[in-house]
Amino acid sequence: MVVVSAPPLLTQRNVLSAVAGVCLFFLFLYHMTSSPTQRGPVRTYDGGVDIVRRKSPPTKQELGRAAWMLMHSIAGNFDDEPTVERRDAAQSFVRGLLELFPCSVCSDDFKERILTKYPIDVSSRRAFSLWTCKVHNEVNGKLNKPLVPCEHFDRFYLGIGEH
């Protein structure tokens, strides 16, 4: 009579498989319960940061980048010979942005120090563009970031780019 013994339950292979299974389970659990912010930025379809799906407010850096982009783009597309109304609108835009910018350390220093050194100049597209470049450089200098050469700058933000 041939006796076939059952394979032992606790082989090295079985133990390793069980440990791997438990690890995978906890990895899955971590992925499902951690917030998207902990897992890194959630991207919009074209590569921007999706604030709503990320469920956390914009950072000072994100706000800053967006505000600079808007300010440079508005200045870069301003009129060569603006009317009084257009100049007023540009002045109000800059003042309003600084008044309402939700980073008080940013706007307080800007209004007290930078605007005194560089009063807003909206006399033409070139003047407004150079002004935004110079004041941005002031903030770059404060944050030890590289400066942009403003004299070659005033056409970077002209028009709306396509990807």
Residues near ligand FAD (CB under 6 A) are 60-61, 64-65, 67-68, 72, 105-106, 109-110, 133, 136-137, 139-140, 143, 145, 148, 153
Cα-based distances in Å from 38 to 30, 46, 56, 79, 115: 11, 21, 11, 45, 38
Question: For residues 148 and 100, what is the distance between their CA atoms, to the nearest angstrom?
Answer: 26
Of 14 and 59, the one with the shorter C-beta distance to ligand FAD is: 59
Of 82 and 98, the one with the shorter C-beta distance to ligand FAD is: 98
Under 8 Å CB-to-CB from 87, ≥6 apart: which residues? 122, 123
Of 125 and 136, the one with the shorter C-beta distance to ligand FAD is: 136
CB of 93 to ligand FAD, least distance (A): 12
CB of 145 to ligand FAD, least distance (A): 6
- Contact present, 154 and 76 (Cβ < 8 Å): yes
Of 89 and 139, the one with the shorter C-beta distance to ligand FAD is: 139
